[in-house]
Amino acid sequence: MNDLSTWRVSIFGLGYVGLSHAVAYALRGVKVVGFDVDREKIELVKKGISPIKEPDVVKHLGSLVKDGKIRVTEDHRDAVLSTNISFVCVNTPSLQDGSADLSQVKSAISMIGEVLRGKEGFHLVVVNSTVPPSTTENVVKPLLEDVSGKRVGEDVGLCFMPEFLREGSAVQDILSPWRIVIGEVDKKGGDVLHHFLLDVYRGKLPPLIRTTPVNAELIKYASNAFLTMRVSFINTIARLCELLPKANVDVVAYGMGLDPRIGAQYLKAGPGFGGICLPKDLRALIRTCEKFGYDPVLLKAIYKVNEEQMKHVVELVENVLGGLKNRDVAVLGLAFKAGIDDVRESPAIRIVNCLVGRGARVKVYDPLAMENAKKILGNKVTYASSMYECIKDCDAAIVVTDWKEFKRLTPEDLRKFMRKAVLIDTRRVFIDRVHEFDEKDIYIAVGASLLP
């Protein structure tokens, strides 16, 4: 094993994935240099301030920057020249047609390649961004070779290493991953990355797969698509539960999950899956299949069920109020899951837009994600500073994200603050307290029949 401080790594893209990696590697003793094209982000990180509210990044970034374990630079040349591995952690958002936009990846690879042209010695480039099958070999490799003037496998190595972290526990997920997948274009690059990881994980690696880049790319997309399939599946069962007296999807999911062939994860019915990865990766996988002439009916059905589930939530409110025009609706929770501030493709944002589109006046509240939501929703909605202010004088309230604090609301609060106690509970936060509602109140739980 090497002394970890001999590894010098640069990270291109200081978003959720890049910053979490910077912190995780620096905590293990690796010297990290961070680079981003966003100057505002660079300035914040330089001061040790995290631009994202990822708990362990917020906790450790300041001291790691102060101790010189993470250094950020606005000069990409400096980032490449002072390190021997560059990790590419830029975003791959959806294009209009659903395929992955590779422009950030191409730009980062061009920046790295251009500096490598004049750099001595072996340098490894690792793509962490989620890229569609064949991208590393057919897009990244030719671009890197062209810009750097070097051959992959000789003076430059190239790997794709998919990232499986979950926002909210990102640093911990990187430090204790369930598996590591190395998609190596060249063996030399794969060997260097394998050595680096052996050092980072102090010789105790989780299951590690070394394979072709296309297999690694497929493992990432297939894993995410599988998770979306579970969510759409349980949401399908949830819809049926709503129609069958005494049915509750949580009990059904619990019973299913006890079977080890099924497992309990990702069987939580709700407003649909969202977030930065699942919807965009599903779209990109669908487009990839279509590009190769295959019609992926299952993947399309997963997507359709998800779209319908969000619409279903809006329709529950619409039906209970007899229309949405000029009705006041409170939306509790905006982040795509509790514990984080990320609202990218959050079901809550989509539900808000749909409510507004159908004429409702919407008031929103989230314990952490208000700032990010404002950037997307602007002045379309009213922002409340507490859950009580949010429900005040509203005709209906919807719980979209299952933040713990929402459990503190009582039917008594709803009666006191709202015009009438009308609650649509997409996460069944209140299901155990259904008996506390009285006959005049309206309580509707997604996935549970309240029919006697």
Ligand X SMILES: NC(=O)c1ccc[n+]([C@@H]2O[C@H](COP(=O)([O-])OP(=O)(O)OC[C@H]3O[C@@H](n4cnc5c(N)ncnc54)[C@H](O)[C@@H]3O)[C@@H](O)[C@H]2O)c1
Single out the residue of 9, 30, 42, 165 in contact with ligand X (rule: CB under 6 A): 165
| Angstrom distance (rounded) from CA 337 to CA 274 | 9
Q: Applying CB under 6 A, does 57 fall inside the site for ligand X?
A: no
| Angstrom distance (rounded) from CA 364 to CA 398 | 10
Q: Which CB atom, from 163 or from 318, has the smaller least distance to ligand X? A: 163
Smallest gap, in angstroms, from Cβ of residue 115 to ligand X?
A: 12
Q: Are 395 and 424 in contact (CB under 8 A)?
A: no
| Residue 277 falls in the annotated catalytic set | yes
Q: Applying CB under 6 A, does 250 fall inside the site for ligand X?
A: no
Q: Applying CB under 6 A, does 396 fall inside the site for ligand X?
A: no
Q: Applying CB under 6 A, does 384 fall inside the site for ligand X?
A: no
Segment interacting with ligand X, rule: CB under 6 A, options 103-111, 251-259, 370-378, 380-388: 103-111
Q: Applying CB under 6 A, does 13 fall inside the site for ligand X?
A: yes
Q: Which residues of 119-132 are buried (b: 16+ CB within 10 A; e: fewer)?
A: beeebbbbbbbbbb
List beta partners, residue 160: 127, 183
**DSSP secondary structure, 309-325, as one string:** HHHHHHHHHHHHHT--T
Catalytic residue among 89, 277, 390, 394: 277
Q: Which CB atom, from 242 or from 345, has the smaller least distance to ligand X? A: 345
Q: Are 449 and 422 in contact (CB under 8 A)?
A: no
Q: Applying CB under 6 A, does 102 fall inside the site for ligand X?
A: no
Taking the CA atoms of 183, 132, 57 and 272 in sequence, report the sign of the dihedral they define.
negative
Q: Are 394 and 412 in contact (CB under 8 A)?
A: no
- Locate tokens 């905006």: which residue? 334
C-alpha torsion 414→347→318→355, nearest 10: 100
| Angstrom distance (rounded) from CA 416 to CA 235 | 32
| Angstrom distance (rounded) from CA 57 to CA 167 | 11
Single out the residue of 276, 284, 334, 424 in contact with ligand X (rule: CB under 6 A): 276
Q: Applying CB under 6 A, does 426 fall inside the site for ligand X?
A: no
Smallest gap, in angstroms, from Cβ of residue 94 to ligand X?
A: 10
Q: Which CB atom, from 281 or from 402, has the smaller least distance to ligand X? A: 281
Smallest gap, in angstroms, from Cβ of residue 259 to ligand X?
A: 28
Q: Applying CB under 6 A, does 101 fall inside the site for ligand X?
A: no
Site string for ligand X, 124-153 (x = CB under 6 A): -----xx-----------------------
Site residues (CB under 6 A) for ligand X, limited to 61-100: 89-92
Query: Which two structure tokens, joined as six digits, stand for 25?
Result: 């590697």
Within a 10 A sphere around the Cβ of 66, how many other Cβ atoms?
A: 11
Site residues (CB under 6 A) for ligand X, limited to 337-376: none
| Angstrom distance (rounded) from CA 72 to CA 41 | 10
Smallest gap, in angstroms, from Cβ of residue 34 to ligand X?
A: 9
- Locate tokens 């509602």: which residue? 437
Is residue 29 left, alpha or beta, with left meaning phi > 0 and alpha meaning psi from -120 to 50? left
Segment interacting with ligand X, rule: CB under 6 A, options 6-14, 148-156, 226-234, 302-310: 6-14
Site residues (CB under 6 A) for ligand X, limited to 167-206: 167
Q: Applying CB under 6 A, does 50 fall inside the site for ligand X?
A: no
Single out the residue of 7, 10, 16, 241 in contact with ligand X (rule: CB under 6 A): 16
Is residue 161 left, alpha or beta, with left meaning phi > 0 and alpha meaning psi from -120 to 50? beta
**Nearest residue to ligand X, using CB?**
15
Q: Which CB atom, from 102 or from 446, has the smaller least distance to ligand X? A: 102
Q: Applying CB under 6 A, does 248 fall inside the site for ligand X?
A: no
Segment interacting with ligand X, rule: CB under 6 A, options 34-42, 209-217, 353-361, 406-414: 34-42
The angle that helices 297-321 and 347-357 make with each other, rounded to 10 degrees, is 50
Q: Which CB atom, from 12 or from 430, has the smaller least distance to ligand X? A: 12
Three-state DSSP class for 91?
coil
Q: Which positions are annotated as active-site residues? A: 277
Residues that bind ligand X (CB under 6 A): 12-18, 35-38, 41, 89-92, 104, 107-108, 111, 129-130, 163, 165, 167, 276-277
